[in-house]
Amino acid sequence: MIRTTTRQPAWQSLLLAGVAALALGACSGEAGKTDASKPADTAQASNVVQTDAGPVQAVERNGMRNWFAIPYAAPPVGALRWTPPSPAAHWTTPLANTASGSPCLQTSNSPFRSKGDSEDCLYLDVHAPASGAGPFPVMVWIHGGAFLTGASGDYADPSPLVSKGVIVVAMNYRMGAMGFLGDPSLAAEDGSVGDYGIMDQQAALRWVKTNIAAFGGDANNVTIFGESAGGFSVLTHLASPLSAGLFNKAIVESGAYGVNGQLTRDELEAKSRTAAEAAVKAAGADAGAACAGDKITADCLRGLPEAVVRDHLLTAFTTAVPSVIPSVDGKVLPQTIKATFDAGAENKVPVINGSNEDEYRLFLAISEMGARAAKSPPDTDPADKSFLMSPAIYAMSAKRLAGQAGVPAKTLTEKDYPLSAYGDDKSLQPSFASAAAATDSIFSCNGLNVSKKIAQEGSPVWMYEFRNQSAPPIVGVVDGKYQLALPQGAAHASEIPFVMNMTDLQTPENKDLQTAMSQYWVNFARTGDPNGEGVPEWPGFAKGSVQALDVASGGGVTSLDAAAFADQHKCGSVWSKLTF
């Protein structure tokens, strides 16, 4: 969740805004806590629903009926660590939870880490209209967080969607080493290993198929949607044969960032073994007798105390695999997502796919935030621009991207993204130029290529760009005051509060945009087409159009020429080597 916090986070270190830090996602630091626990909320006996494992009871809030912390699989602990999700145990007394379940184990130095994390985390929430006749279309939300952080509880108020007549389901899934470790000792009989977090998502989708009718939902009209790592998860389901038939439509929000970086199974196994050995060695005697002598076996790994997992394995894995994304495991993904689409073997459904105009500014804002916090006392004066990127650091950052473009870094900084092209404020120029280059190469052009491929394969696709420069900042607001020098603009994750209630949108224009965007999303969930009464026409990508999503004063919701979008983000020139 995006939260403009009213307290100063305790930053532990400077977060470098490099390619390896991508897709942190929009996740709150206070997951698992929702307004559903307020005394005014009362559960109604009529809101008891029978699932295949036992009864659950709702609380009513914000015009919704909310069922929290429903187990969709057994706790993945002990012998169930690093195995496909197993069925949840049955129960007889109605579960009357008033808050989301514990987040899955978190890692990384992200400011979006959710509190209260646990290995016992495979729960989902169901949010349904408080009145009206079903069956309602179903939207299943997959949270972001770089496959390292995040939780369903960060998205506990999808009322902008639900109020328009859909059911929203949000699930937790295993992340980091718990969800994507591929040590060879964990290989299944069929040889597959890793991608347990995606298997969790598939188990949640099967749960929806089996149970959602009891909540008033239409099991034959399911839309999966997610942002950042959640968006990449949606692309994974489009490619996975195990996800076939589990959904009918898909929305990818800023999810194309990793389509050229998936590991092979051999690469995953090698990196996972390196991580496991490092963790066991660091833990020493605490790793237990099963791991004596650095002997890594399935029993050793599944027997590691949770403290060892938290203190050693999670960090060792993200050190070995800095950018965690689903890999070619041989089961969930028999081949890369790219290869699957090239072969025309993807799950063909209607798709909305898009990105934000200033994606990478979020990561630079996080870096500035860390640098300010490192001062004693922390510097909170936005007029102090000394924490912004310098021209020298911009030149260094360009080296990370130059290889993708196949040009010298100097060409990027002097010809393609010269500082003089980014306004008159010299202190902001390096940040704006660096963010533009990273946004184009990591999000915009990969997203454009994904839309092209989907259209070529014959599936309907609608593409958007979120361009709202007045969107509330993702980070850096303390006690209502913005404490950073870098304007975040339409940064990574800034579109999420325009389809869910997550923060104060501050202006009537922003609220109008939320109304329009949530209506597009609901129209698409209902019919497979975002168009409908009350919203501007959204031409399909096959018509050469990208929909600009903006407030009226910024240009409004209108159609852009896809070729002009490609030119703006230099997709056909600087980043022409990127393919999908």
Residue 109: predicted pLDDT: 65
pLDDT in tens, 453-470: 999 999 999 999 999 999
Q: Token match 């936005």: residue?
A: 382
Same domain (yes/no): 485, 424: yes
- 247: in domain: no
Which among 559, 540, 546 has a CA at the least distance from the CA of 447? Answer: 546
Average pLDDT over residues 438-462: 97
The lowest-confidence range among 156-165, 289-298, 409-418 is 289-298
Average pLDDT over residues 326-346: 96
Which among 186, 183, 63 has a CA at the least distance from the CA of 127? Answer: 63
Same domain (yes/no): 425, 532: yes
Average pLDDT over residues 43-57: 82
Same domain (yes/no): 315, 417: no
Same domain (yes/no): 304, 431: no
- 65: in domain: no
| Residue 474, domain CATH | 3.40.50.1820
Residue 86, token pair as written in the block:
């197993």
Please tell me which residue in 28, 100, 228, 451 is annotated as part of the active site.
Answer: 228
Residue 404: predicted pLDDT: 86
C-alpha to C-alpha distance for 343 and 258, rounded to whole angstroms:
19
- 284: in domain: yes
Which among 414, 433, 415, 413 has a CA at the least distance from the CA of 423? Answer: 433
- 531: in domain: yes
Q: Looking at the predicted structure, is the pLDDT value of residue 129 above 60?
A: yes
Residue 161: predicted pLDDT: 98
Model confidence at 132, pLDDT cuts 50, 70, 90, reads confident
Residue 22 or residue 65, greater confidence: 65
Same domain (yes/no): 315, 387: no
Dihedrals φ, ψ of 252, to 5°?
A: -110, 115
Residue 515: predicted pLDDT: 98
* Structural domain harbouring 276: 265-320
pLDDT in tens, 514-556: 999 999 999 999 999 999 999 999 999 999 999 999 999 999 9
Residue 465 carries which DSSP code?
E
Residue 77: predicted pLDDT: 96
Please say whether the beta carbons of 202 and 304 come within 8 A.
Answer: no
- 374: in domain: yes
- 354: in domain: no
Q: Looking at the predicted structure, is the pLDDT value of residue 5 above 50?
A: no
Report pTM: 0.92
Active site residue 227: no
The alpha carbon of residue 426 and the mean position of all alpha carbons in its chain are separated, in whole angstroms, by 33
pLDDT in tens, 357-397: 999 999 999 999 999 999 999 999 999 999 999 999 999 99
C-alpha to C-alpha distance for 24 and 490, rounded to whole angstroms:
16
Q: Looking at the predicted structure, is the pLDDT value of residue 320 above 50?
A: yes
Average pLDDT over residues 333-348: 97
Same domain (yes/no): 436, 314: no
Same domain (yes/no): 369, 300: no
- 107: in domain: no
pLDDT in tens, 226-284: 999 999 999 999 999 999 999 999 999 999 999 999 999 999 999 999 999 999 999 99
Q: What is the number of domains present in the chain?
A: 2
C-alpha to C-alpha distance for 53 and 72, rounded to whole angstroms:
9
- Which amino acid does the sequence have at 208? V
Same domain (yes/no): 391, 499: yes
Between β-strands 48-50 and 55-57, what pairing exists: parallel, antiparallel or unpaired?
Answer: antiparallel
Same domain (yes/no): 387, 474: yes
Percent over 70 (pLDDT), the chain: 91
Please tell me which residue in 119, 269, 357, 359 is annotated as part of the active site.
Answer: 359
Q: Looking at the predicted structure, is the pLDDT value of residue 287 above 60?
A: yes
Average pLDDT over residues 408-427: 97
Please say whether the beta carbons of 105 and 175 come within 8 A.
Answer: yes
Same domain (yes/no): 454, 529: yes
- 120: in domain: no
Average pLDDT score, the chain: 91
Active site residue 359: yes
Q: Looking at the predicted structure, is the pLDDT value of residue 39 above 70?
A: no
